[in-house]
């Protein structure tokens, strides 16, 4: 009963708003139909709220050392227990989430901007295509994880001296993850641009004498936004996993500036004493990545005009 | 096809040279010093001579070319010599790549570590394929059934959850709480075929690392198998096969699966280097004394030659398997013509 009524109200709502339907409201309507994506979106919003607003509400200090309270199991005072120095794990997980999510989003932006730029340049300007695609192929053949570890090892100290311990490592991790994760975006965008630039509307724009720059920004770029958005969603997931992996290997963020990966690394040594400490950051990394991947799936469906018209 | 293979193979060589240059250039910035671990009693003049002998003071291009020569010519010749127990030319005076921390030839250390890595990786890879293909096939054949829905969700989760969490989770559950398996991998353990308990111990300690990696590999592969099967299931040739009166098993396995496996086999080849990179993390979780741990140790100890060689080997794996995947795709799929 309830479902039919909902269905009816949705239908009437559709009809009344039909005149004002824009592209993005269409996309949003299609996105809402994807159950996994909606669950993912809600879950991601909850995690983001907990990480960015949570530390302001939560009373315990993530850095307050109290050895008399060391290695406690979860209790009412410490919902996720305490670590080996008596710091509250929940407070640390919240602060860690703030850094992990910021790194993920910032690195994704770097990667997507580079990828889109390389993709558009190499798709639109035939002269640049050869060299840019050779470069992309070479980046794809680089052993990313070993190289990331080496680069962090080499540049950690100079950057920490130049920008301070926290900002230095943040800049380093974000830029190297961004620089090593743009290749798929570039390939997809290039493919789309190659097809788009032969379309009639581009020809029309050119024939009325639009400058190349305007053709790219007004006509080509808005049309490659869909693959770019999907790549952006998946890019966040990849960046969070990469950062966690680096921190987990002990070559990412330091313990006094923890991310979820670093918390996992620190907890690993106490796995027999306080096994729950390992689970919290791990569960949050996994939930975030799962949500982001589902959102990416939903976006892909919602942005596909063939699926949307059904 | 033959010309295509030759062209692709020849193109791989400059790619590798460029990659070796990038790796070498990054590591050249390293502040490491080959004499740092030597006793302090050695006078500075002698230290300088040792640096000289190790080629530490050479200009960048010279030391890169020297390393490239060692990597591409000296070490392969040496490998052949060791394998067939023969001597080629002046093998006494050829300078091999020497580790700064152990002072032993880098390649010998790597060869020592390969079996541990290969055992765990190889088994995980084989089990992963054995799980992934049936799951993908059934999921696609019964699209939107309960099996498919559960399977799609589980593979999405398995593909999203990183191995460093599933590994630790397995340790928490199976060794801390249940006490079934040892929490780390003992590489000094020797298996003798006559001693049953040594075999069971080996199996016990391998179960967790192999299972964790196998499930991770299986997740991506079964998603891919499913979508490849779905692409083929609605093709005309499937209807033709059915209308000829072929049994459903023959249609699905003999016709659809055979065609669907073409991209899957390519993906398997493309995944292999990634599996090696993933081993860096898995080996760290279960403390397996393999290549990944060797790399982490070398990075932390600033052992530049070891890091260079290992990173380059990873790059070789990627380039070689990309090449294999491309060639296999052309060989398996007669619709693809490169020339």
Report residue B54's pLDDT band, with 50, 70 and 90 as the boundaries.
low
Q: A137-154 pLDDT, tens per residue? A: 888 888 888 888 888 888
Among the listed ranges A94-108, A136-150, B322-336, which one has the minimum average pLDDT value?
A: B322-336
pLDDT in the model for residue A189: 92
Among the listed ranges A97-106, A254-263, B57-66, B90-99, which one has the minimum average pLDDT value?
A: B90-99
Distance CA A162, CA B152 (A): 47
Q: A214-263 pLDDT, tens per residue? A: 888 888 888 888 889 888 988 999 899 999 988 888 887 887 788 888 88
Percent of chain A at pLDDT > 90 equals: 18
Is A249 close to B171, i.e. CB distance below 8 A? no
What ipTM was estimated for this complex? Answer: 0.79
pLDDT in the model for residue B31: 60
Report residue B204's pLDDT band, with 50, 70 and 90 as the boundaries.
confident
pLDDT in the model for residue A107: 94
pLDDT in the model for residue B55: 63
pLDDT in the model for residue B151: 87
Q: What are phi and psi of A219, to 5 degrees?
A: -110, -45
Is A150 close to B315, i.e. CB distance below 8 A? no
pLDDT in the model for residue B47: 73
Distance CA B289, CA B186 (A): 8
Mean pLDDT of chain A: 83
Compute the nearest-CA separation of B281 from chain A (Å): 7
Per the CB < 8 A criterion, the answer to whether A142 and A179 are in contact is no
Is B299 close to A150, i.e. CB distance below 8 A? yes
Compute the nearest-CA separation of B89 from chain A (Å): 34
Q: B124-160 pLDDT, tens per residue? A: 889 999 999 999 999 888 888 888 889 888 888 888 8
Is A150 close to B26, i.e. CB distance below 8 A? yes
Is A293 close to B161, i.e. CB distance below 8 A? no
pLDDT in the model for residue A104: 92
Residues in chain B with CB shorter than 8 Å from the CB of A245 are 162, 164, 281
Q: B80-96 pLDDT, tens per residue? A: 777 777 776 666 666 77
Strand partners, A38: none
What count of other Cβ atoms lies within 10 Å of the Cβ of residue B265?
Answer: 16
pLDDT in the model for residue A37: 87
Which residues of B lie closer than 8 Å to A, measured between beta carbons? 15, 18-19, 22-23, 26-27, 29-31, 156-157, 159-162, 164-165, 168-169, 171-172, 176-177, 183, 273, 277, 280-281, 284-285, 295-296, 299-300, 302, 307, 310-311, 314-315, 317-319, 322
Per the CB < 8 A criterion, the answer to whether A10 and A260 are in contact is no
Mean pLDDT of chain B: 81
Q: Between the ranges A127-136, A251-260, B99-108, B109-118, where is the mean pLDDT highest?
A: A127-136
Distance CA A169, CA A171 (A): 5
Is B307 close to A147, i.e. CB distance below 8 A? no
> What's the average model confidence in pLDDT over B46-67?
73
> What's the average model confidence in pLDDT over B148-175?
86
pLDDT in the model for residue A2: 46
Picking from A131, A134, A146, A271 by the largest number of B CB atoms within 10 A of its own CB, the best residue to mutate is A146
- Which residue of chain A is at minimal alpha-carbon distance from B179? A272
Packing angle, helices A225-248 and B258-286, rounded to 10: 30
More confident residue, A11 or B126: B126
Residues in chain A with CB shorter than 8 Å from the CB of B19 are 138, 141-142
Is A141 close to B280, i.e. CB distance below 8 A? no
Asked if pLDDT for residue A106 goes beyond 90, the answer is: yes
Q: What are phi and psi of A276, to 5 degrees?
A: -65, -25
Per the CB < 8 A criterion, the answer to whether B96 and B107 are in contact is yes
Using CB atoms within 10 A of its CB, is residue A299 exposed (0-12), middle (13-18) or buried (19+)?
Answer: buried
Q: What are phi and psi of B105, to 5 degrees?
A: -60, 135
pLDDT in the model for residue B122: 87
What count of other Cβ atoms lies within 10 Å of the Cβ of residue A23?
Answer: 12
Per the CB < 8 A criterion, the answer to whether B171 and B208 are in contact is yes
Per the CB < 8 A criterion, the answer to whether B282 and B70 are in contact is no
Give every CB contact of residue B243 below 8 A, 6+ residues apart in sequence: none
Asked if pLDDT for residue B17 goes beyond 50, the answer is: yes
Is A143 close to B314, i.e. CB distance below 8 A? yes
Angle at B37 between CA B35 and CA B38, to 5 degrees: 65
Dig out the tokens for B211 from the structure.
């299972």
Residues in chain A with CB shorter than 8 Å from the CB of B159 are 293
Q: A41-75 pLDDT, tens per residue? A: 999 999 999 888 888 888 777 777 777 777 677 77
Residues in chain B with CB shorter than 8 Å from the CB of A137 are 15
Report residue A112's pLDDT band, with 50, 70 and 90 as the boundaries.
very high
Is A141 close to B310, i.e. CB distance below 8 A? no
> What's the average model confidence in pLDDT over B192-221?
82
Asked if pLDDT for residue B43 goes beyond 80, the answer is: no
Q: HSE (CB half, 13 Å, CA atoms) of B196?
A: 0
pLDDT in the model for residue A307: 61
Q: B22-41 pLDDT, tens per residue? A: 888 887 776 656 566 566 67
More confident residue, B257 or B100: B257
Three-state secondary structure readout of chain B: CHHHHHHHHHHHHHHHHHHHHHHHHHHHCCCCCCCCCCCCCCCHHHHHHHHHHCCCCCCHHHHHHHHHHHHHHHHHHHHHHHHHCCCCCCCCCCCCCECCCCCCEHHHHHHHHHHHHHHHHHHHHHHHHHHHHHHHHHHHHCCCCHHHHHHHHHHHHHHHCCHHHHHHHHHHHHHHHCCCCCCCCCCCCCCCCCCHHHHHHHHHHHHHHHHHHHHHHHHHHHHHHHHHHHHHHCCHHHHHHHHCCCCHHHHHHHHHHHHHHHHHHHHHHHHHHHHHHHHHHHHHHHCCCCHHHHHHHHHHCCCHHHHHHHHHHHHHHHHHHHHHHHHHHHHHCCCCCCC
Per the CB < 8 A criterion, the answer to whether B306 and B261 are in contact is no
Helix locations, A125-143, DSSP H: 126-141
- DSSP code for A82: B
Is A154 close to B311, i.e. CB distance below 8 A? no
Distance CA A37, CA A44 (A): 10
A71: left (phi over 0), alpha (psi -120 to 50) or beta: left
């Amino acid at each position: 009963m309830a479902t039919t009524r909902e269905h009816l109200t949705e239908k009437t709502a559709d009809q009344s708003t039909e005149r004002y339907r824009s592209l993005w409201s269409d996309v949003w309507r299609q996105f809402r139909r994807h159950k996994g994506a909606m669950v993912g979106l809600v879950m991601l919003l909850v995690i983001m709220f907990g990480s960015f607003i949570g530390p302001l509400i939560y009373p315990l200090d993530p850095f307050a050392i109290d050895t008399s309270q060391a290695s406690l199991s979860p209790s009412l005072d410490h919902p996720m227990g305490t670590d080996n120095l008596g710091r509250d794990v929940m407070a640390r997980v919240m602060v860690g989430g703030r850094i992990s999510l910021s790194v993920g989003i910032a690195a994704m932006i770097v990667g997507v901007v580079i990828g889109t730029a390389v993709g558009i340049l190499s798709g639109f300007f035939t002269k640049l295509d050869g060299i840019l695609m050779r470069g992309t192929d070479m980046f794809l053949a680089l052993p990313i994880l070993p190289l990331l570890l080496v680069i962090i090892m080499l540049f950690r100290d100079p950057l920490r001296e130049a920008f301070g311990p926290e900002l230095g490592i943040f800049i380093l991790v974000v830029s190297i993850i961004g620089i090593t994760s743009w290749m798929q975006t570039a390939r997809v965008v290039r493919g789309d641009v190659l097809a788009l630039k032969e379309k009639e509307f581009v020809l029309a724009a050119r024939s009325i004498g639009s400058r190349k720059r305007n053709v790219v920004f007004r006509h080509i770029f808005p049309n490659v936004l869909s693959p770019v958005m999907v790549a952006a969603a998946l890019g966040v997931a990849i960046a969070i996993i990469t950062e966690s992996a680096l921190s987990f290997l002990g070559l990412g963020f330091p313990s006094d500036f923890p991310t979820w990966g670093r918390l996992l690394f620190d907890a690993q040594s106490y796995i027999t004493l306080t096994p729950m400490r390992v689970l919290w950051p791990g569960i949050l990394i996994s939930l975030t990545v799962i949500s982001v991947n589902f959102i990416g799936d939903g976006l892909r469906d919602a942005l596909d005009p063939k699926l949307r018209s059904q | 096809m033959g010309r295509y293979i030759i062209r692709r193979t020849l193109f791989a060589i400059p790619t590798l040279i460029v990659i070796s240059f990038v790796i070498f250039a990054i590591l050249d910035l390293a502040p490491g010093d080959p004499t740092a671990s030597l006793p302090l009693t050695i006078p500075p003049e002698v230290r300088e001579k040792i640096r000289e002998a190790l080629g530490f003071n050479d200009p960048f291009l010279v030391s890169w070319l020297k390393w490239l020569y060692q990597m591409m010519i000296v070490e392969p010749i040496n490998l052949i010599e060791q394998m067939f127990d023969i001597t080629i030319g002046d093998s006494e005076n050829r300078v091999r790549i020497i580790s700064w921390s152990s002072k032993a030839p880098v390649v010998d250390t790597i060869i020592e570590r390969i079996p541990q890595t290969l055992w765990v990786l190889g088994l995980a890879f084989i089990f992963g394929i054995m799980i992934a293909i049936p799951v993908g096939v059934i999921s696609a054949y019964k699209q939107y059934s309960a099996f498919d829905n559960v399977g799609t969700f589980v593979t999405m989760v398995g593909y999203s959850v990183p191995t460093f969490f599933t590994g630790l989770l397995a340790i928490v559950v199976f060794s801390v709480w249940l006490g079934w398996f040892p929490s780390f991998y003992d590489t000094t353990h020797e298996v003798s075929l006559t001693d049953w308990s040594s075999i069971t111990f080996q199996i016990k300690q391998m179960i967790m690392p192999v299972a964790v990696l196998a499930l991770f590999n299986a997740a991506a592969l079964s998603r891919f198998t499913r979508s490849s099967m779905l692409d083929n299931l609605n093709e005309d040739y499937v209807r033709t096969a059915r209308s000829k009166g072929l049994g459903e098993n023959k249609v699905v396995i003999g016709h659809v699966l055979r065609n669907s496996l073409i991209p899957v086999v390519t993906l398997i080849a493309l995944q292999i280097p990634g599996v090696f990179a993933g081993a860096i993390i898995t080996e760290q979780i279960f403390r397996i004394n393999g290549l990944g741990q060797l790399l982490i140790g070398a990075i932390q100890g600033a052992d530049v030659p070891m890091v260079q060689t290992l990173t380059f080997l990873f790059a070789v794996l990627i380039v070689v398997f990309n090449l294999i995947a491309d060639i296999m795709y052309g060989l398996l799929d007669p619709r693809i013509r490169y020339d």
